[in-house]
Amino acid sequence: MIPAISPSIPNELPDYDTAYAQFLQAFPPFAQTERLDHLRGTEYARLDRTGQIYLDYTGGGLYGESQVQQHVAMLTGQVWGNPHSHNPTSLAMTHKVEAARAYVLSYFRADPEEYVAIFTANASGSLKLIGESYPFAPGGTYALVFDNHNSVNGIRQFAQAKGAEVAYVPVCLPELRLDQAALERTLNQPANGRPRLFAYPGQSNYSGVQHGLQWVAYAQERGWDVLLDAAAFVPTNRLDLSQVKPEFITLSFYKIFGYPTGVGCLLARKEALAKLHRPWFAGGTVSMVSVHWPAYQLAAAEAGFEDGTVNYLSLPAVEIGLRHIEAIGLEMIHERVNCLTGWLLTQLTQLHHDNGRPLVQIYGPTDTESRGGTISLCLLDPDDCPYDEQQVEALASQANISLRTGCFCNPGAGETAHHLTNEEIKQYYQEKHGMSYPDFQQWVQEKSGKKIGAIRVSTGLASNFADVYQFIKFASTFCNKHTADIGGSEICPAHAPLMRDTV
């Protein structure tokens, strides 16, 4: 359990020095992450120099200055050519690309005899590769959990087009964790020889819940291939592919170390990769093709899945970024994020209006057990009316606080958090409204009085205590203010109290 840190006056934080001393007393392991404070003043000095409070690490990591400097020195120190040739500049670039590929496998402790690393544009590109190529068929199943990014949800279109069943496993209130009984029922369905793929995130990008890597082996033992979306998990947690061995792992490197953007990866077991059948070919993916005869030969291993020319000038920056993380120590990053998240959760759940009603509702766990540094929340006024999240974001921006609002491309977690029912969702689509998230928000509020949408804050590598302290100060400014006081609607949604978890 998280130790409580109660200020002497409710909703009134002590001064910074006192609060920091209390924090260190409550979270002793934080002192072991002191090196990150030094890096904050060197590698990430631009944060304090520009007065920015960055709490959007789930949206994108931050790069260290030395990463960019090393990459620029590489780019300007030699001539680099397209790697698809054998001339000197091409061979030099090929060496750099393959060195990056090898380091990715090493970082995730993936045996190169067992796994390949396929470079893509991002995690979504990796997921599309799987979706379009997996041998879905009638009698087969694509199973996935409610709590998934839309790029994982989108694979269902490929599955349905090929006649496979799509089976969703719900998450449970109040912590938005997997319904384990439902998941076991799904995974225990007898195998029938048809391909079956189970997809889930190592960590939710909505609630921060970590769904447990033990489900990988559990599913595999029952004849499932497993797709692990690791995009939100790997920035602050170790993924050891010598111990846990999903068939497919997807991620984006900018989530881990900020730079470069536009480069993701699909880590795939070779035996699983052999099951995939690409629906097309492109430059770089074939070893032989003719226009006189409709035949072609797909290139072996990762080459058959890297369409066209890889982002070769950026790939060396991937190795630079991973070495940067290794030099810091992923375990140190994990510990810092855990401590800061714990303090944030404690403080947020202690904020109340003078009438005793909570200011904050957390969507997900309120302690640090099996969760990461992502917190989704709603701010409620003294009448339990939610403040408009976009208005909150605008006010936060005025205070130089970077946070994120909306549904975070994760409709399943959001629909569960806001108690939306199958009937409500079905009615919306049948009435064929504007088919946009703002239109959906408005429709739900008009029909049921529920105000949907969330505020997400997330800590990461360069976060320090001052960041979370300033956010709590900002959140405290909403105490005892009604929605109309900050420019929101003067009408409180009639059923706003229903948003509160009651199970």
Bridge partners, residue 117, by sequence = 267
Q: Is the peptide bond before 260 cis (omega within 30 degrees of 0)?
A: yes
pLDDT reported for residue 53:
98
Tell me the C-alpha to C-alpha distance, in Å, between residue 98 and each of 31, 79, 263, 323.
39, 17, 15, 15
Residue numbers of the chain with a pLDDT score lower than 70: 1-11, 286, 432-434, 487-503
* Region of residue 93 (left: phi > 0; alpha: psi -120 to 50; beta: else): alpha
pLDDT reported for residue 498:
34
Cβ atoms of 169 and 179 within 8 Å: the answer is yes
pLDDT reported for residue 2:
36
pLDDT reported for residue 143:
98
DSSP letter (8 states) at residue 431: T
Burial of 470 (0-12, 13-18, 19+ CB in 10 A): middle
pLDDT reported for residue 286:
67
Pairing mode, strands 264-269 and 115-120? antiparallel
d(CA 469, CA 474): 9
d(CA 389, CA 421): 22
Cβ atoms of 309 and 82 within 8 Å: the answer is yes
- For residue 310, give the nearest of 172, 120, 177, 139 by alpha carbon: 120
pLDDT reported for residue 488:
54
pLDDT reported for residue 339:
98
Reported in sequence order, the residue ranges of 129-259 that DSSP labels E, i.e. its strands, are 141-145, 165-169, 171-172, 177-178, 196-201, 225-229, 248-252
Tell me the C-alpha to C-alpha distance, in Å, between residue 45 and each of 32, 40, 347, 373.
21, 6, 27, 22
pLDDT reported for residue 492:
55
d(CA 196, CA 282): 27
> Which residue among the candidates 385, 409, 479, 492 is catalytic per the annotation?
409
Establish whether 339 is a catalytic residue: no
pLDDT reported for residue 301:
80
